[in-house]
Structure 1
Amino acid sequence: MRLPSSRLALLCMLYFVQGLPFGFQATALPVYLREQGVSLTVIGFASVLWLPWGLKALWAPAVDRYGSARMGRRRSWILPMQAGLAATCAAASLVTAPELLPVLLGLIFLMNLFAATQDIAVDGFAVDTLRPDELGPGNTAQVVGYKLGQLTGGGLLLWAAERTGLGWSALFVAMAVLCLAAFAVMLFVREAPVREELAATRTTLKQVLARLKEALLLPGTGWLLLFIATYKLGESMSDVLYKPFLVDAGITSGQIGLWSGTWGTLASLLGSVAGGVLAVRMPMLGAVGLTAALRVVPLLGRWLLATSGVTDPGVIGVTLAEEFFGGALTTAMFAFMMSRTDRRIGATHFTLFASLEVWGKAPAGPLAAWLADPKHGLGLGYANVFMLGLILSVAFLVLLLPMRQRSPGPSTQPTG
């Protein structure tokens, strides 16, 4: 069954808004901090701004349980979060001086808080409405929307700010306007009623938590959680140093914004579509294994750049390849995660998986920066840490064997 284009567009728009602050944090912020002379260690620890994405499972049961019946159970959470995101973007446009950097970082933290809470509600909406045969295209729409938000917040707007001379303030104003546009669209969206078999199971918060415990006690869940937590660890160690490495190699912020934030994200979008196609045409675990194996190739390319020297064609080729295969892996993995979600507690269960995915990557930033930093860390340098990330990504492939044997199925998978 083909997923209606209107539902695809809605999912894409919602995830686009959620990708804006993370795109800025992942691409634009490290460039800005490095240009201000901030150390690699500080840049690495600035990654704690993603903390709401890692902690959102704590309040996911409340989002899953409570909501306005009149406005729509998911929509009543989405609209306030979009308004808060627009407000914090607008406030950040007024904080331009380097001496107010702590204020700017605090606002970025709030952006992530609003986006992460909206993500819980949107994930619940997706789990509510997507049938098993729609998980491939549905997750493609989600990942593509999120990547488009990343492209805009960390690529297009960064590149435009440098080319026009309008600076960082205009970047945040543009993000606020985009959030308000999505808010205006959501005002006219009417949420479809929850299917009867799902509505009947959603009662008290205590029962939501009890069903989550039941899902976590299924045989093979330990391997599933380890699988989700480690699939991006090595790649993330490489990612957090890649842009500072390019800055130190003499690549300008405009080039980084264009090659990594823009062209790279476009490659990631194409990879996301490819991952969605694979998730439909192959067993989902097989799609994850194939894309995880291909992801190793550009990680080797980063190590070669650090050891053999940087050239413009080399940087562009490695960047586009990593983004393409990384995007394919993300879509395949998220479709696999959603296929293992108990739909009775869709927002809570899937949020737990997504939060674990974030926590699995969490040590990567501080650890990689500390290992590489010659002033405040071990001083191993970029090349050695790129190699460590490559080794961890290869080691992840070993987990495919126990997953094939012990991966649990979803507790409940109704098909309305």
Structure 2
Amino acid sequence: MTNAAAIIGPPLLHAPVAADRRGMALYGLLGFAAGLPFYMFSTVLVLRLQAHGVALTILGFIAWVQLLPTLKFVWAPLLDRYDVPGFARFWGQRRGWIMLAQIGIFTAMVAMALTSSDANLAVTALFAVLLAFWTTTLEIAADAWRIELYPTQDQQGPIVTANLWGYRSAMVAAGSGALIVADSGGWTLAYLLVAVAAFLPFPVLVAMRPDAAVGGQRGTALATGLLASATILIAVGAGAAAVGWVALALASGAGIDAGSNVTPWVLGLCMLPFVAMAAALPRIRRASADSAIRTSPLIGPYVDFFWRYGFAAVLLMAFVSLYRMGDVLALNLSKPMIKELGYSLTQIGRADGMVALIAGMAGVGLGGLLVTRWPMAWTLTIGAVVAAIGNFGFVWLAHQPVAEATLYLATACDQFGNGFAGAVFVVYLSMLVNPRYPGAQYAFLTGFAFLLPRMLAGAGGAMVGVIGYDGFFVLSGILSLAAIVFVPTLSRIVPRTDAA
């Protein structure tokens, strides 16, 4: 908690705290820092590869880079347990990890800029994976801090709104700005400019006052932290390269190429977590408070979730996997479809500029407001409906003459629904978390929530090849609506406690 106080003053010394303007400003800044890189390893990267003639099926495979955030529960406990040498000595644990992550984001994006010819897709994928990894690391630290400081639904609403406003503003600045710059100045310049913008919060954090609980010399802490960061970045890069080499070798050995239809295999893999959870639940439910699996620093936070919710945990995980599926499926292939319709990168960039920003922020604002005033079941339902309308809008767009006004309307519907559903969903997941394990459990929930959608998104190119763009976006909209079926049952689920 001391880190928060060091940044925004005495009112955040103790948790819980009120969601005041200083807290909202802080989380707006953190959201901006995390949002800038996202499009650069997702939609912008897809359009860049499409411009270099990469096959649609391969573009779908590239979407699997976004699986990194779904796996963040693997390394999330490390952020709660360990400090970044040097940085933590002066600025505290949370800011230390955020500063390291920003250095990682900057270096990965510069590397993507310098390899913008995409002559070697394996190298492009490696740097995209590293960018996704460090972006996710920043989010882990910020999310854990948010849940510690603002544990109630009323407090989460304004903070989540501010965080998503910052996040979406950055996504628009990166996505729209990068496309417009790339259309005139090339992909290298686009990635370099976004890399510089993504690094701007770093000197702001450096200039902030030290963590009162630690202290030390600013210059010494900064130098030590930079040296430690360089070592960590090299180690993570080498590890990612090794894992990638093995993955490519296995894919090649299995005969997976640009003509492969991997959708059935993806669906089968996505079922495995549900089967594993159901098999382990009886033992977890019988575990006592002092049992090894509940007290373990590595698996204890995750076991706790299933111990508290029992077999209802399987239903919860199915719901969170489905709720944002339509938006995730549409994310990577909506831009290639729009480009094929005849729109230029500049036109797409303008649509993803002020239109997407205003619509998305309106959706986030309304969702963040209603979640503090209405029952969660109602806001979840509305979120699913408006998200589905956004997906259906792409089907409508495909059958209209090429005109920026229609592109703006389709983009606005998509971004409003995405923003509304996103704000409600973040608050809902935060309420499922045990405050004893905020970082690990929130990382697990958000990671699992996007595991199935992002795995299916990787097969999106193959799906379009079978059912076409119309069928693809109709399906994504229907999947968003399907989440509503779970809502009545979810509202009756109550977690047990040790006293139960």
Same fold, TM-score > 0.5, yes or no: yes
Aligned equivalent of 1:135 = 156
2:377–2:488 Cα contact (<8 Å) kept: no
Aligned equivalent of 1:238 = 330
Q: How does 1:139-218 map to 2 (within 5 A)?
A: 139-162=160-183, 165-189=184-208, 190=210, 206-207=296-297, 209-218=299-308
In the TM superposition, what is the alpha-carbon distance from 1:355 to its structure 2 partner? 0.5
Partners of 2:498 and 2:148 lie apart in 1 by 15
Q: How does 1:222-233 map to 2 (within 5 A)?
A: 222-233=314-325
Aligned equivalent of 2:285 = none
The equivalent position to 2:449 in structure 1, one of 330, 344, 357, is 357
Partners of 1:179 and 1:241 lie apart in 2 by 25
2:317–2:448 Cα contact (<8 Å) kept: yes
Aligned equivalent of 2:124 = 104
In the TM superposition, what is the alpha-carbon distance from 1:239 to its structure 2 partner? 3.2
Partners of 1:178 and 1:192 lie apart in 2 by 29
The equivalent position to 1:85 in structure 2, one of 105, 108, 124, is 105
Tell me if 1:304 matches 2:396: yes
Q: How does 1:255-334 map to 2 (within 5 A)?
A: 255-260=347-352, 262-307=354-399, 310-334=402-426
Partners of 1:91 and 1:368 lie apart in 2 by 27
Partners of 2:497 and 2:370 lie apart in 1 by 21
SS in 1 for 2:72: helix
**Greater Cα offset, 332-341 or 141-150:** 141-150
What CA deviation, in whole Å up to 9, does each residue of 1:42-67 have, x standing for no partner? 11111111232121100111112222
The equivalent position to 1:30 in structure 2, one of 46, 49, 52, is 46
Partners of 1:156 and 1:12 lie apart in 2 by 20
In the TM superposition, what is the alpha-carbon distance from 1:370 to its structure 2 partner? 0.6
Distance 1:327 1:410, change over 3 A: farther
> RMSD of the alignment, in Å?
2.5
User: 2:131 corresponds to which letter in structure 1?
Assistant: M
SS in 1 for 2:342: coil
SS in 1 for 2:91: coil
Partners of 1:97 and 1:372 lie apart in 2 by 26
Tell me if 1:20 matches 2:110: no
2:329–2:454 Cα contact (<8 Å) kept: no
Partners of 1:407 and 1:166 lie apart in 2 by 55
Partners of 1:387 and 1:91 lie apart in 2 by 37
In the TM superposition, what is the alpha-carbon distance from 1:252 to its structure 2 partner? 0.7
In the TM superposition, what is the alpha-carbon distance from 1:21 to its structure 2 partner? 1.9
Distance 1:18 1:410, change over 3 A: farther
1:291–1:329 Cα contact (<8 Å) kept: yes
Distance 1:192 1:135, change over 3 A: farther
2:44–2:178 Cα contact (<8 Å) kept: no
In the TM superposition, what is the alpha-carbon distance from 1:120 to its structure 2 partner? 1.0
The equivalent position to 1:56 in structure 2, one of 72, 86, 102, is 72
- Unpaired segments ≥5 residues, structure 2: 1-16, 215-293
User: 1:258 corresponds to which letter in structure 2?
Assistant: R
Partners of 2:107 and 2:48 lie apart in 1 by 22
Tell me if 1:398 matches 2:485: yes
1:161–1:171 Cα contact (<8 Å) kept: yes
SS in 2 for 1:93: helix
Partners of 2:314 and 2:118 lie apart in 1 by 45
Aligned residues: 396
User: 2:51 corresponds to which letter in structure 1?
Assistant: E
Aligned equivalent of 2:93 = 73
In the TM superposition, what is the alpha-carbon distance from 1:156 to its structure 2 partner? 1.9
Percentage of identical aligned residues: 25
2:434–2:441 Cα contact (<8 Å) kept: yes
Q: What is the TM-score with the length of structure 1 in the denominator? A: 0.88
- Unpaired segments ≥5 residues, structure 1: 195-203
Aligned equivalent of 1:124 = 144
User: 2:368 corresponds to which letter in structure 1?
Assistant: G
2:390–2:418 Cα contact (<8 Å) kept: no
Partners of 2:61 and 2:497 lie apart in 1 by 36
In the TM superposition, what is the alpha-carbon distance from 1:334 to its structure 2 partner? 0.2
2:19–2:156 Cα contact (<8 Å) kept: no
